[in-house]
Amino acid sequence: MSKVVRIATPLSDEDVCGLRAGDKVLINGYIYTGRDAAHKRLVELLHKKEPLPFDIKGQVIYYVGPAPAKPGQVMNSAGPTTSLRMDPYSPLLIEAGLKGMIGKGERTKPVVDAMIKYKAVYFAATGGAAVLIAKSIVESELVAYPELGAEAIYRLKVVDFPAIVAQDCYGGNAYQEGTRKYKR
């Protein structure tokens, strides 16, 4: 049975281990944005043993290219992008301490294996609800790579950011479990 859980970043191993595929979560605190161009740069820094532009330990990265804010807004819309594009980079970031990722679509076996080994979790945000999701973002600050435009890394302060645990650190997969459940 799924439950609703309020969590706060940064995440600990204990936080991650308390979540199961299918749980509904409300995320509070700070999360970072990042898509494939930023992920590529982060992994290049790790390979060179250079510091990242933010401390990745315990953090959550949201795979989003936020739309520029209109006057009076923190963010116009902030819908998830397909996570598969980050999969070549995610295992190394998880090994470096990343605890959570937010996107849409299933993850590949190397990402799932890293999530199990290093205790990380993958959250799904609802595609098509970009404007609604943006309402949970109360602050936005550019952190790195402004030349990437919408793919730059931002630090977002979120209040009750809605997501679902899509894949947990035990190998649980809400996508597969949901398909089995409703296949009958």
Q: How far apart are CA 55 and CA 111, in angstroms?
A: 20
Residue range 4-183 forms a domain whose CATH class is: alpha beta
pLDDT tens track for 55-99: 999 999 999 876 666 777 676 667 667 899 999 999 999 999 999
Q: Is 86 left (phi over 0), alpha (psi -120 to 50) or beta?
A: alpha
Tell the residue number behind the tokens 């997969």, with chain if given: 173
pLDDT tens track for 126-166: 766 666 677 788 898 999 999 998 899 999 999 999 999 99
Domain boundary assignment for the chain: 4-183
Look at residues 115, 85, 113 and name the one whose alpha carbon lies nearest to residue 98: 115
In DSSP terms, 146 is beta-bridged to none
**Does residue 47 carry a catalytic annotation?**
no
**Catalytic, out of 20, 39, 107, 119:** 39
Phi, psi of 47 (to 5 degrees): -60, -35
Assess contact for 92 and 71: CB atoms under 8 A.
no
pLDDT tens track for 4-18: 899 999 999 999 999
